[in-house]
Structure 1
Amino acid sequence: MEQGAKLNSVMIESLKGVETIKANALEEERLEQIENSYIDAVKTGFKEGVLSNTQQTISGLIGTIINIVMLWVGALSVMNGEITLGALMTFTSMAGFFMDPVGRLVGLQLQIQESQIAMKRLSEIYDTESEQLTKKAKDIDLNKDIKLEEVTFRYGSRSPVISDLNLDIKANSKVAIVGQSGSGKTTLAKLILGLWTVESGKVSIGNTEVSDIDYSYLRQNISYVNQNIELFSGSIKENIQMVNRDSTQEKIQNALKIAHCDFVSKLPGGIENFLEEAGANLSGGERQRLAIARALVKDSKIIVLDEATSNLDFVTEQIIYRNLFRSNFTQTMIFIAHRLSSIRYCDKIIVMDKGKLVEEGKHDELLLKKGHYYKLWQSQNNDIMSDYLLDQNNEGEEVIYE
C-alpha cells in the first residue's frame, strides 16, 4: 500500500509539472523515476501475493492434516467401540465450523498490516491541531485601521522573518509594501490575513485582534490575490462569481474592466467561455487579471494584491493600477509590488528589509530621504536605462556612455 501511494504521488507530481519537465528535457529522467516506482510497487505486490499464497497454503495444509488425524483417530475409536459412527460424523462436522474461521484469521494478517499503514496516515491528519478550536468574534466591522504591534514571526526554528514590527494602516487607504526578495513582504500580508499566527506581539483590525476573529468570517471579508492563481474548470463567469453569488452582470463587467480583462470579449463564448483545469487555456497574465477581477467582485473590506501583476507587461500593469486608484472602491488596499513605478501614487509606501520596517511615507518623501527606497528606485530605473541602451546598441546606433 505504501509503495502504491508513492507511485501515485510521483505520477501526479509528473502530470502537474509536465511543462517544466518538457522545457528542461527531463522526460527520460522522470520516466525512469516513474518506472522505478512502478517496479517497486510491483515487487511489493508480488511479495504480498507470495506471502498471502504461502499463508493460505500452510493454513489449508494444516487443516487437511488435522482432518486426516481426526478421521484416523475417530475411525479407530469407532472400531474399538469407544464412540459411535454418528458421534464421529457430528464431531467432524463441528470441527469444520471451527477450522474455517481460524483459516480466515490467518489470511487477515496482510489486511491488518495495510490497515495499520492507512490508520497511521489518517492519525497524522486527525492529530493536526485545528486552526480554530474556540468560537470567535463574528459580525464585527473590519473597515477599520490595521495595526501591528511588536510583531515577531518565524518559520519553525529558523531565525525570525519578521522582527519587532510596528505598523499602522489607515482604513480605506492604499498602501504598498516593497523591499527585496526575502524581506518579509508576503509574510506580513499572511499575518494580516490570519493565515499564520504571530510568535509574539499582536495584529489588530480596529480594536479586535486578528487571532480573536472567526477565521472564516475574516477571510470572507478579505480578498487575497497572490502569484499562484487558482482557476477551476467552468466558465469565466462561474470562476469570478464563486466568491460572491449575488454579484450582478453589471458588477462582473465592471470588475473585468478595472482588471483590464479586454481579452474576455474576444473569446468565442465571452464571459461564458469554458476554462480548462487551472485555466490552462489562458496565459499567465490573463489568469492574473481574472483573479484580480474576482477579488474586486468579492465586496471585501480589505484587498491584498501580493505580486498579483508579476506576469503582466509594464503597460497592462500600469493600466490596472491606474484603474484601481481612480475607481470608487472604498476598501483598504494593500499592494505588494516589485515594480515601484506602479505604486508611486499610494497613500503610504512601507519599505521592508530583513524582516524590519526601515522606511515609510509617500513616494516623493522617500526619494528625498535617499535611503532604502531611493536605492530600490534608482536600481530599477538604471535597469530600465541599461535595457534601453542595449536595445539601441543592438540596432547598430552609436551609444555614448558618460
Structure 2
Amino acid sequence: MTAKTEAAPAGLPIAGPAEVRKAAVGLMGQDRRAVAVMLILNGLAAAAGLGGPWLLGKIIDDVRGGAGVGHVNRLALGILCFALAQLLLGRFARYAAHRFGERTLARIRERFVERSLVLPASVVERAGIGDLLTRGTSDVATVGTTLRDAGPEVSVAMVQILLILVAMLAVNPLLGVCGLLCLSGIWFATRWYLRRAHAGYLKEGAANSALIEILTSTAAGARTVEALGLQERRITATAEAVERCRATRTYTLNLRTVLFPVVEFSYVAPVAAILLLGATLRDTGTVTTGAVVACALYFWKLSEPMDKILLWLDQIQRSNASFARVEGIGQVDAPPVTGADRPQDDQLDVVDVRYAYQGERDVLHGVDLTVRPGERLAVVGPSGAGKSTLGRLLAGAERPRTGRVTVGQVPVAELDPAQLRRHVVLVSQEHHVFLGTVRDNLLIADPSATDEDLRAVLAAVDIDWVDELPDGLDTELGSGGLRLDAQQAQQLALARVILADPHTLILDEATSLLDPATARHTERSLAAVLKGRTVIAIAHRLHTAHDADRVAVMDGGRMTELGSHEELLAAGRGYAALWKSWHGA
C-alpha cells in the first residue's frame, strides 16, 4: 500500500498506512532507551518461561530412568525459580512499557493540540467540529489504551511466542513442525480479518464523527431548531446517524465472530496432533515421553500469549484506525509562503477576486479593492451581499477561487498562522470564553502583558464590570465559575484583540451584541486606541460608515460603490438610499 493520504468523507484527512507507520517509528525513536529496556526485559521474561516445560519433560525421562526423589526435588525447585523469574521480569517489563506508553501518549496529545491550533478555520468549518472533537477525544483515548495496555501485553506475548516456537523445534523438529502446521488456520483467519478490519474501523470512526457533529450542532442551535419547528427533522437525522453507527459496529462485530471460533479450534488441534504423532514416534524409539510432554506443554503455553494477541487484536485494529485519524490532522496542507519571505508593508490588495463555497456558484464576482495602511474602511450592504465573505478572504480564512488577496504583495492565505496574526486579525460576532480567570483570557493574546496593560485594554472597550467581580482579574470564568453574557463575552474578545495589537483588524459585526449606544461608544474608543492601525468594519449600523475614511458598498457579490460617506451621499445611489432608510427618511 502507498503512503497516499486517504480521504475522509466530508471530514478531515486520514493518514495512509505508510504515514502511520512512519509516525509510530518516529514516536518510538524519541524514546529509544525505553524501547530497548522493554525488549530486553520481555526477552528475559519469555526465556524464563521456557524453563518449566523443559524441566518437567526432563523429570519424566529421569524418573523413567530411575532418578531419585532428591534429583526430582532439585528439578522441581528449578521450575519454581524459572516461574518466579518470569513473574518478576514480566512485572518490570510491563512497568517499563506502561511508562513508555504514557510518555508517548502525552507526545501524541501535545502534537494533536499543536496541529489543531494551526488548522485553517475554513478547513474546520467544512469538516465539522464533530470530526475534530471525536479525533481529539475518543480517537486519542483509543490510542492511549493501546499504548498503555495493549502495547505491553502484545509485545510480551510476541516475544514469548517466538521463543516458545524456537524451544519447541529444538526439543523435536518433527513434533514442532507438526504443531506449526496445525496452527495454519489461525494464520488464514487472521489474514482474512486484517484485510477487512482497518476499513471497517475507519467507517466506524467516520460514523461516530457524523453523530457527534449532529448532536453538537443540534444542541448549539437548540433555540433555532425550536423556533423554526425543526425538531422532527433533527430527530430523524439523529436516528439515521445512530443507525449508521450501529451498522458499522455490527460489521466489525461480525468480523470478530468469524475470527475467534477458528482461533479457539486451532489451539486444540496442535496439542492433539503432537500427542498422536508423539505416541507413534515413542513406540518406534524416535522420541522420549518427556520430549512429547515438553512439546505438548509448549503448545499449551503457546495458547496464552496467542490469546493475549488475539484478545487485543481488535483493540489494535481500532487503535490503528484511530491513530490514522489523529495523524490525519497533520495531513492538512499548511500553505507555504510564496514570493517574499514576509510582507513588504501592510497594504491589502484585492484583485479581480471571485469566490464560491464548495459545490456552489460564485458569491463574489470580480471584486477589486485596495486598503491603505492606517485606513478605516467600512463595508456595508444588504444581507447576503458578500460582506462577511470578503472579510474572511481579507483575513486569510478563505482562498479566492480566482484573483488575488495580498498583504504587502504576499498572498494572505499563504502566510503561516503566526505571521498572519501579526498582520491581520478577524473578529466576528462569535466569541469564546476560555476556562480560567479574566486575566488568563486576556493573556492568551500577550503573555507578557502587565496588569496595567490589561486594565488599559479593558478601559478601551468600556469594560467596567471587571472591578465589580469578587476577585477582579482573578475571577474564574466558564464552567464552575462566572458565566458571562453575550455582551460581556464580546467585549472581552475585543479587549483580547487590542492586546494582540495586529496592524489590520477586521471587525465583522464585532459589536452586534452590544446595545446601540454602547456599541457606538465602544467603536469610537476602539478607533482612538487603534489610531494608526488599519480597521475594516463590516456592519449593518451605518454610524460605523459615517465615522470611516471610506465606505465600500457590496451588493449581489459585487462592489458597487467606494468612497467617503459624503461622496457616496452626494452620488445619490445605493448607499444614499441605505442611509435614508436607516434614518427612517
Equivalence for 2:389: 187
Look up the match of 1:131: 335
Query: 2: distance between equivalents of 1:278 and 1:148?
Result: 46
Q: 1:226 aligns with which of 415, 428, 434?
A: 428
User: Aligned residue for 1:333?
Assistant: 535
Does the 8 Å contact 1:288/1:309 carry over to 2?
yes
1:70 and 2:274 matched:
yes
1:194-218 deviation digits (Å, cap 9, x = unpaired): 2222333323334544356544212
Structure with the largest fraction of strand: 1
Shift of 1:64: 2.1
Against the structure 1 CA distance between its residues 214 and 87, is the aligned structure 2 distance closer, same or farther, given a 3 Å change threshold? closer
Partner of residue 362, structure 2: 160
TM-score of the superposition, structure 2-length normalised?
0.56
Q: Distance in 2 between matches of 1:190 and 1:254?
A: 29
Distance in 2 between the 1:280 and 1:19 partners?
22
> Is the contact between residue 350 and residue 360 of structure 1 (CA under 8 Å) also seen in structure 2?
yes
2:489 is matched with: 287
For structure 1, the 5+ residue unaligned runs are 386-402
Offset at residue 344 of structure 1 (A) = 0.8
Measured at CA, do residues 108 and 373 of structure 1 come closer, stay the same or move farther in structure 2, by a change above 3 Å?
Answer: same
Could you say if the C-alpha distance between residues 334 and 273 of structure 1 is closer, same or farther in structure 2, counting changes exceeding 3 Å? Answer: same
Q: Counterpart of 2:460 in structure 1: which amino acid?
A: I
CA 1:93–1:198 in structure 2 vs 1: closer, same or farther (change >3 Å)? same
Which range moves more in the overlay, 207-216 or 182-191?
207-216
Secondary structure of 1:333's aligned partner: strand
Of residues 365-374 and 325-334 in structure 1, the stretch that sits farther from structure 2 once superposed is: 325-334
Aligned partner of 1:243 in structure 2 is 445
1:347 deviation in Å? 0.7
Contact 1:352 1:359 (C-alpha < 8 Å) held by counterparts: yes
Query: Of 388, 397, 400, which residue of structure 2 is paired with 1:198?
Result: 400
Which amino acid letter does the alignment assign opposite residue 360 of structure 1? L
- Counterpart contact for 2:335–2:415, Cα < 8 Å: no
Deviates more, 1:204-213 or 1:338-347: 204-213
Match of 2:12 in 1: none
Q: Normalising by the residue count of structure 1, what TM-score does the alignment of the two structures yield? A: 0.78
Corresponding position of 1:169: 371
Q: Which deviates more, 104-113 or 227-236?
A: 104-113
* TM-superposed deviation, 1:358: 0.5
Match of 2:579 in 1: 377
- Name which of 526, 540, 552 aligns with 1:350: 552
How do 1:1-400 and structure 2 match up within 5 A?
Answer: 2=204, 12-13=216-217, 16=220, 52=256, 55-79=259-283, 81=285, 83-96=287-300, 107=311, 110-111=314-315, 113-115=317-319, 117-118=321-322, 121-122=325-326, 124-132=328-336, 137-138=341-342, 142=345, 144-210=346-412, 213-276=415-478, 281-327=483-529, 329-382=531-584
Gap change, CA 1:338 and 1:123, over 3 Å in 2: same
CA–CA distance in structure 2, aligned partners of residues 119 and 246 of structure 1: 36
- The answer on whether the counterparts of 2:394 and 2:405 sit within 8 Å (CA) in structure 1 is yes
Corresponding position of 2:112: none
**Are the aligned partners of 1:255 and 1:296 in contact in 2 as well (CA < 8 Å)?**
yes
Structure 2: segments with no counterpart, 5+ residues: 1-200
> Greater helix share, 1 or 2?
2
Check whether the contact 2:393–2:405 (CA below 8 A) recurs between aligned residues. Answer: yes
Q: For 2:336, give the aligned amino acid.
A: Q
Q: CA RMSD in A?
A: 3.8
Percent identity of paired positions between Structure 1 and Structure 2: 27
Provide the C-alpha distance between the structure 2 equivalents of 1:247 and 1:339, rounded to a whole number of angstroms: 33
Q: Distance in 1 between matches of 2:348 and 2:422?
A: 17
Give, in whole Å, the separation in 2 of the partners of 1:201 and 1:5.
35
Relative distance call for 1:255 and 1:157 in structure 2 (3 A) is same
Distance 1:278 1:229 in 2: 19
Secondary structure of 1:260's counterpart equals coil
Greater alpha carbon shift after TM alignment, 38-47 vs 296-305: 38-47
Deviation at 1:325, TM superposition (A): 3.9
Shift of 1:176: 0.3
Q: Which moved more, 1:45-54 or 1:228-237?
A: 45-54
